[in-house]
Amino acid sequence: MDAPAVSTEDPRWSAIDTEPYGLLIGGRITPSAAGATFPAVSPRDDRVVAQIAEAGAADVDAAVSAARAAVDEGPWGKAKPKDRAGALNRIARLIEVHADELAFLEAIDAGKPVSAVHHSDITMSLDALEFFAGRAIALRGSAAVMPDNAVIHHQIVEPLGVVAEILPWNGPLWTGVQRMAAILAAGNAAIMKPAQLASLSFARLAQILLEADLPPGAVGVLTGPGSTVGEALVEDPRVDLISLTGGIESGARVLAHAASSVKRVSLELGGKNPNIIFADADFDLTAMWTTIGAFSNTGQVCVCGSRALVERPIYERMVEELARRAEAMVVGDPLDPKTELGPVIGRGHAAKVWDYIEIGKKESRLVTGGVPYTDAVRSKGCYIPPTIFADAAPTCRIAREEIFGPVLTVIPFDTLDEAIRISNDTSYGLSSGVFTCDLDKAWTVSRRLKAGQVYVNTWFGPVLEEPAQGYKQSGYGGVGIEKYMQAKNVFFRVGS
């Protein structure tokens, strides 16, 4: 559809600071020690919208020192569970107050439609803060009966200490708030490192956190490139855990740098997620969820269903319906409330997606999309139309490699065994889907799929109540609040 337009007189632009956004270190907003900054470039029109402090080695050292002091001898390390819960609830109320501003910054910096930020990202951030506030109070150890009746056992769960969380660019606000909430609920200090491509909303959140009455060092925010900030955090022996959400290449670099110190690492990585559609599925429901699963956030979601495996009897009909729905999606300026899909994150990533589209044209049948926009609004930014390829062989590059854009590859299959074989023939194992009205079939397929999440007759699932670890190269090192904690087993004798 045609791109919506946004007035150039939009008053929300006044929310952006004219001075560079600073770092949060030791309870203060400060410029980088070297005075370096980098530009926040909006993918909506390739325009620089703000300047952000670029942290260096000295800033990492200061942030880690402040975090260590907060948990080792400071008030955060001594905080009671109810105090940690109270801190999270205060942050939630502040985000509610600043929701419009944060949504605007996320839209212009990450390209997410502002209505989607309100509907999902702000909502998920608030849910996470409230959920983990409850978890902070409800954390429990355990006890086991020992072979010797005179020995009593208690397992105590304790915080790890200082956690460095490296965020992705596809959902920096909600992923950052969710991880930060879990880290703090467990009693750790959190050093948050937003992706350089999408740092603006979290840089503003750092300022807002000053109003939450947190002890200095409980939360730090360091913006800048992963090659300097991220690696310095990984190599600092005072950091107890590195947690990263991102691509396999970034995860591999973290593991390599952490190996020498045997530092704890947790990685939530990518996927090439299959969506198996059987002929007996509810056709309209399936088409709706397949479209949502493939193109949400312009295909920039780790669990997007980027491969649709469709049983032969409904194959052509499903391809036509998916194309119709894709063509009806409103692609345009993320500041317009009618926009459904905004631009991809930036020029570099857009070029990668366009390269895959050209590869797909040689490997399979282009059904819809695949052609750059030429109108005045979208031609200036990083906009890519929802693109569908059909008749793809399972060995095609577009069927095997993570594109991370609005590209859906449709593959026909004839038997259940064939569908499972194609689905599992990948180095990834993050999520998957099954659409069928036969619950026995759904259960059989769910058990045989090698993926951490299986969606049956839906797409996307709860990430708070039931976090999932990806199979194979999609995940490593634990999930949820538990990965931020250490279990200690205590045994003591009480009698002879």
In tens, the pLDDT along 124-153 reads 999 999 999 999 999 999 999 999 999 999
Q: Is 460 left (phi over 0), alpha (psi -120 to 50) or beta?
A: left
Which residues are registered as beta bridge partners of 191? 164, 220
Q: How far apart are CA 21 and CA 368, in angstroms?
A: 41
CA distance to 108, 126, 443, 468, per residue, from 439 (Å): 43, 34, 6, 22
Give the residue among 373, 350, 372, 354 at the shortest CA–CA distance from 46.
350
Looking at residues 407-428, what average pLDDT do you find?
98
Residue 365: what pLDDT? Answer: 98
In tens, the pLDDT along 251-279 reads 999 999 998 889 999 999 999 999 999 99
Q: How far apart are CA 474 and CA 271, in angstroms?
A: 6
CA distance to 57, 167, 230, per residue, from 246 (Å): 22, 7, 12
In tens, the pLDDT along 150-176 reads 999 999 999 999 999 999 999 999 999
Residue 351: what pLDDT? Answer: 98
Looking at residues 465-483, what average pLDDT do you find?
93
Q: How far apart are CA 447 and CA 76, in angstroms?
A: 43
Residue type present at position 199 = S
Domain segments of the chain as ranges: 11-269, 274-461
pLDDT higher than 80, residue 372: yes
State the first-to-last Cα distance of the chain, in angstroms, to the nearest integer: 80
CATH 3.40.309.10 for the 274-461 domain, yes or no: yes
pLDDT interval class at 463 (50, 70, 90)? confident
Residue 82: what pLDDT? Answer: 97
pLDDT higher than 60, residue 287: yes
Which one of the listed residues 106, 302, 340, 363 is annotated catalytic?
Answer: 302
DSSP 8-state secondary structure symbol assigned to residue 2? P
Q: Percentage of the chain with pLDDT > 70?
A: 98
* DSSP class per residue in 304-326: ---EEEEEGGGHHHHHHHHHHHH
Cα 226 → chain centroid:
16
Residue 7: what pLDDT? Answer: 47
Q: How far apart are CA 215 and CA 69, in angstroms?
A: 10
Asked about 320 being catalytic, the answer comes back as: no
Residue 10: what pLDDT? Answer: 80
Dmax (CA) of the chain = 85
Using the CB atoms, write b or e for 16-34: b if 16+ within 10 Å: beeebbbbbbbbebebbbe
Asked about 316 being catalytic, the answer comes back as: no
For residue 4, what are its two tokens? 């919506």
Looking at residues 224-234, what average pLDDT do you find?
95
pLDDT interval class at 466 (50, 70, 90)? confident
Looking at residues 474-480, what average pLDDT do you find?
93
Looking at residues 235-255, what average pLDDT do you find?
95
For residue 54, what are its two tokens? 């670029």
pLDDT interval class at 496 (50, 70, 90)? low
Are 349 and 60 contacting, i.e. CB atoms less than 8 angstroms apart?
no
Residue 416: what pLDDT? Answer: 98
Cα 13 → chain centroid:
26
Looking at residues 472-492, what average pLDDT do you find?
95
For residue 115, what are its two tokens? 């209505």
pLDDT interval class at 461 (50, 70, 90)? confident
pLDDT interval class at 495 (50, 70, 90)? confident
Q: Which of 214-223, 244-253, 357-366 has the lowest mean pLDDT?
A: 244-253
What's the topology of domain 11-269? Aldehyde Dehydrogenase; Chain A, domain 1 (3.40.605)
pLDDT higher than 70, residue 460: yes
* DSSP class per residue in 237-277: TT--EEEEES-HHHHHHHHHHHGGGT-EEEEE-----EEEE
Mean pLDDT of the chain: 95
Which one of the listed residues 268, 321, 340, 363 is annotated catalytic?
Answer: 268
pLDDT higher than 50, residue 2: no
Residue 299: what pLDDT? Answer: 98
Residue 8: what pLDDT? Answer: 53
In tens, the pLDDT along 379-416 reads 999 999 999 999 999 999 999 999 999 999 999 999 99
Q: How far apart are CA 383 and CA 381, in angstroms?
A: 6
Residue 81: what pLDDT? Answer: 96
Looking at residues 343-372, what average pLDDT do you find?
98
In tens, the pLDDT along 38-69 reads 999 999 999 999 999 999 999 999 999 999 99
For residue 130, what are its two tokens? 């409230």
Looking at residues 469-473, what average pLDDT do you find?
95
For residue 485, what are its two tokens? 């904690």
Which residues are registered as beta bridge partners of 165? 192, 243
To the nearest 10°, report the CA torsion of 460, 117, 22, 228: 30
